A and B are shown apart, each in its own frame.
Chain A
């Protein structure tokens, strides 16, 4: 593996990994917020 190749791969893994995890957190938060809102409405109705 070349030096620059290692650098590019290393940096890509770090930043894509962190960004990917942040996106995962955000999507999970949005999904749960919707589910929570729906359930709260159901409880209110009942």
Chain B
């Protein structure tokens, strides 16, 4: 318990530190991209330093849902289901932020908010819908097999993550590749800015996950106590 509290404090301190550092690197440290390099909205490009980490953390969160769902189907322990549910909710929050900020940057850069023919955008949107449905399923369906059903849903939904990640490489897309290609178009400052953003959001994810799991455990305790009181 004492170790848990200490770990939570360490995660909180690291989260605050990296979030502040990420704001500094994004706004001050990283240089503005140049119009000569093909950017039509250099100032709006700074959205990239939080748009990409938000997308990255949503993929990480859905990856955790996948692993926990597999573990739950294997041995039906409640803790795996609790972590999967908590991670899915946080994943949807980060995915929403990535999906909303992308078009804002896109409008400034490309002149359009969205293009349905772009596979990366469409697959990411489908991924968001799948996990939104996952949360609705958890909240709405009254069944003993709810957790099992959600686990299967989480595993299938995760298939969109690698597809979204590689889609701009294998299909035509106006969305830029983030991970450096052989042409290596990212400067070292941009790379550092992006890395700090990813680390900051990953710590934020860990902090939120611990909080969300605690909430879920409390809700389960309340349900158990209510049953106990009802049974007396």
How many positions in chain B have a CB within 8 Å of any CB in the partner chain?
34
A4, B225: Cα distance in complex, Å = 53
Name the distance in Å between B112's Cβ and chain A's nearest Cβ. 11
- Would A6 and B232 count as touching, CB distance under 8 A? no
Name the distance in Å between B75's Cβ and chain A's nearest Cβ. 27
CB-CB < 8 A to B122: which residues of A?
Answer: none
* Contact partner, B108, options A6, A13, A39, A40, Cβ 8 Å: A6
Q: Which of B192-232 contact A (CB under 8 A)?
A: 204, 208, 211-212, 214-215, 218-219, 221-222, 225-226, 228-229, 232
Chain B residues at the A interface, C-beta cutoff of 8 Å: 41-44, 46-47, 50-51, 54, 90, 93, 96-97, 100-101, 104-105, 107-108, 204, 208, 211-212, 214-215, 218-219, 221-222, 225-226, 228-229, 232
A46, B231: Cα distance in complex, Å = 12
- Would A10 and B51 count as touching, CB distance under 8 A? yes
* Known A1-B107, A32-B215; contact A10-B50, beta-carbon cutoff 8 A: yes
Chain B contact residues, majority secondary structure: helix
Choose among A2, A6, A11, A21 the residue with the greatest number of B CB atoms under 10 Å from its CB.
A6
CB-CB < 8 A to A21: which residues of B?
Answer: 90, 93, 208
Name the distance in Å between A23's Cβ and chain B's nearest Cβ. 11
